[in-house]
Structures are given as C-alpha cells and as structure tokens.
Structure 1
Amino acid sequence: MGRDRFFLSRIFPVMGNRLKFFREKARMTHEQAGEAMGVSRSQFIKLERSERRLNLDYIERAAAAFGVSPADIISDDPAPSDVPLVGYVGAGAEVQPEFEQVPPEGLDQIHIPFPLPGEMIAFQIRGDSMLPVYRDGMVLIVYREQKRPAEWFFGREAVVRTEDGRRFVKTIMRGNPATLYSTNAPPIENAVPVWLGEIFAILPRESLGNGG
C-alpha cells in the first residue's frame, strides 16, 4: 500500500462534502447520481446533506462516479496535511508517555492527502486487546485538544491518558471513576482520565514512512 494512497480506513466525524456541487455540475438528478455511486436515491440525498457519515467507501464511489479525486469530494481546497506521530498508545501493552523521547517535530510524519478539520496528532498502537478494529502497529489520528466533556465519550472509543501517566485506546464506560473497557482483555476499573483524545481516523501501519 503506497504512502500517498488515499488510505483512511475509517473516518469518524461527518466531514463537509461537495456531492451537490459535482452532481449539479454533471447535471444529474439525485436518482442518477445515486445510481452512479451504487446507492439509492434516498441514501444519496442523506450523504449529500451530511445526514449520513461519508466514509471511505462512499468517498471513493463518489470520486469514481464524478471522475474526480477522493480529496475533491470532501474539500474545495485539497491541500495535503502532515500529522506528527507523537508516541504510542496501549491496547493491551502499557505505555508510559513520560518515558518517551519525542522530538518537537514528532517521531514521524503521517501524510494525509487533504486538509484536516483541526489540529491533529498521531499515535501508534501497541498490543491487541482491542481487536478486531484496532491492530498492533496501526496509527490513530486524534484531535490534539480535548474539546468535548468527559460525558460525551461514555460508550465511545478514545485515546485516554490516566492520572498515573499511562496511555491507552479503550472504550470509556460511564462511572466516576470511569472503567476502561477492552474487547479482549479485562477492564481497567477506577480509572481517572486526565485527557481524552477524540479519534478522527484509523490508518494502517503502512502509513508510516518506515512501514511501522
């Protein structure tokens, strides 16, 4: 898998898109555009209005239908972005951030072929307690600043740093203190998160310049 390939395997937030622009440019009806993408008329309308999440599959279908690049579908300014890899996150393995020696520019730069909706950082996963979604060596793109309250993360997966300095990718379960749930490992109970990182995307390990 080439580093410059449009490799986002999962996109979490609903991103702005240009489906309406390209549909009208092609003089297509909603039904015609949906047929070109292989979706129903109602599905296309929801995608166009951002009422349904525009994931990688839909982005690539739309790009093929309208004869443009995937980056064109989600941005009118398809300038690439570079995200610094700032460390590791445990999914079974424990990671102590204070022991990491990370230069200001990061351990590596993750190339994203379109603009991002905010300042991001990247972590590489160590461990396999969150299989099948999160595999050892995969890269998580995360918002640098926590902008949502802790309650928003309940029931969601996130990168979490606890007060004792450990960092994990876990499902955050409601409670005070919280419980950090793993798919294939015992939960971590009575955890006190000091930072919760909202996950924007999951990338394969090949997205690293050195292949991971």
Structure 2
Amino acid sequence: MLPDVEPKYPNGLREALQRAGMTGSELARLLETNRQNVSRWVSGTRELVPAVAQQIAPLLQTTSAELLLLRSTERFSVPLGGKIVGGGAIDVSTDQHEPGLEYEIELSVRVPDATVAYQVIGESMMPVYRPDTVIICRAHTKVIDPLVGKELAVATVDHGRMLKVVHPGSTPGHYDLSSFNATTMRDVRLEWVARIAAIIPADEWRILERRSQVNADMRTRLQKPSKRQK
C-alpha cells in the first residue's frame, strides 16, 4: 500500500465539491475548462490561484477564502452602497443610497481594490446571484467603452442599479444591457459602471452600523430576510 502523499498545493476544493454535490466534470463544464485542470486542482498537483478560486466559489456556494484554506482572523470591511438587481426590473428606488453613508459590511477575507459592496435582491438572479449575496466592486467609472462586453455593476439613469453585461447601443452614449435570465434592455443611459471584484455568499458577511443613530426602517430593509421580524 502506497503511503499518503501530501499535496503540493493543498486547497479546499475537494470538500467544497462534496458539500455542493457536484462532480469535477460538472465544475469543468461550468468553468469552460477541461476535466484534467479540475482534477489537478482537487489533487493539489496544480495551484488553485485566487483568480480561479473567485470564479469557483459562487458555483459551489462557498468563498474563495475557504477554497484557498485561508483561516486568518483578520476582518475586512467595505462600505455598503445599498441594493442591486441582476435580472428583470425591480423597484429599488427607496434603496439607492450613496456608498458608505450609514453602513459597511464585514468580510472574512480581504478583497484587493474593493471600494463598495452591493446586496443582491430578487429571485431573478438565481442560480448565479442568490438573494443576499454581496457583490464587491472596484471604483465607479464613467469611462465605459473599454469595459464593453464585461459583466459589471451599473447605475442607469432611469432604472437604478443592476448587474448586467454591457454592449454598445445604437447611438453614442447609450448601451444595451443583457443578463442570462432577462430580456435585453436597449439603448440605456448609464451614470457609471464598476468592475466586480468578488462575489460573497449570504452567510459570509454581516452588516455593521457606521453611525450611532440610524433609521430603524432602513435597518430592517437592509437585513437579510431570515433575520427580519415577521
């Protein structure tokens, strides 16, 4: 019997696959990579780099920190800018607040270049963005054309904040916005866009109050549904 060999690049992918009830082949298909790559990550013969761990984490409903076996007790906070939707239109007009005015969220892993977080709402985002997932974004920018073709957090002039893939519109300054489960929005005007730095599952973050006195109604709206009083 051969002795157990310590993996060269240990990680938590095997356990995460088992918890999610997913096979390596299924994960490879979702990542659009080959089965050998996943096998090497699982066995620890190939390094699971942070960028790949961030892609895998939402598919397995875990965090990149868990996949990378990061057990640091250091906490990291990001201003909470409000709520964001990703599928069909949802009225979030009362929740469109500027970043960091009253709340921040605390994470168990540091996200480089994190600027603001948005709380996903609405069932239309499943299975990619489950309700109460938090999207960590880099800085807002009004320079949109270099980011065309990417999935971004966007602020529209008429429809609030959304998670969309941005495409050129029919006229300059207008853009088509698509998502995997909603009709494409045509010729939308954008106030800003922001690149997505990380996707954090609902049980891996918590809200912190940044002011000693906050509006009680706002606090209720920002709570996770499971924490709200019936």
Normalised to the residue count of structure 2, the TM-score between the two structures is 0.56
Provide Cα deviations, 1:16-40, integer angstroms capped at 9, x if missing partner.
xxxxxxxxxxxxxxx9414x44336
Deviation at 1:170, TM superposition (A): 1.3
Deviation at 1:100, TM superposition (A): 4.0
2:43 maps to a residue whose letter is V
Match of 2:32 in 1: none
State the secondary structure of the residue aligned to 1:140. Answer: strand
- Compared CA separation, residues 108 and 168, structure 1 to 2 (3 A): same
- Compared CA separation, residues 53 and 191, structure 1 to 2 (3 A): same
- Compared CA separation, residues 62 and 136, structure 1 to 2 (3 A): closer
Return 5+ residue gaps in structure 2 as ranges.
Answer: 1-5, 12-41, 58-62, 208-222, 226-230
- Compared CA separation, residues 202 and 54, structure 1 to 2 (3 A): closer
Match of 2:187 in 1: 190
Match of 1:141 in 2: 136
Structure 2 matches for 1:22-37, cutoff 5 A? 32-34=7-9, 36-37=10-11
Match of 1:82 in 2: 77
What is the CA RMSD across the aligned residues, in angstroms?
3.4
In structure 2, what is the Cα distance between the partners aligned to 1:125 and 1:62?
Answer: 25
Match of 2:206 in 1: 208
Higher relative contact order (CA 8 A, sep 6+): 1
Match of 1:120 in 2: 115
Provide Cα deviations, 1:163-199, integer angstroms capped at 9, x if missing partner.
3362211121233421111222211100122200111
Moved more, 187-196 or 200-209: 200-209
Contact 2:84 2:162 in 1 (8 A): yes
In structure 2, what is the Cα distance between the partners aligned to 1:168 and 1:117?
Answer: 22
In structure 2, what is the Cα distance between the partners aligned to 1:58 and 1:79?
Answer: 15
2:154 maps to a residue whose letter is V
- Compared CA separation, residues 202 and 101, structure 1 to 2 (3 A): closer
In structure 1, what is the Cα distance between the partners aligned to 2:199 and 2:116?
Answer: 12
Q: Is 1:151 aligned with 2:119?
A: no
Return 5+ residue gaps in structure 1 as ranges.
Answer: 1-30, 64-69, 73-77
Contact 2:166 2:177 in 1 (8 A): yes
Provide Cα deviations, 1:127-165, integer angstroms capped at 9, x if missing partner.
233332012332211123338x42343332211112336
- Identity of aligned pairs, percent? 26
In structure 2, what is the Cα distance between the partners aligned to 1:154 and 1:104?
Answer: 24
Deviation at 1:125, TM superposition (A): 1.9
Normalised to the residue count of structure 1, the TM-score between the two structures is 0.60
In structure 1, what is the Cα distance between the partners aligned to 2:150 and 2:96?
Answer: 29
Provide Cα deviations, 1:20-72, integer angstroms capped at 9, x if missing partner.
xxxxxxxxxxx9414x443363x32xx46x7x634357753553xxxxxx055
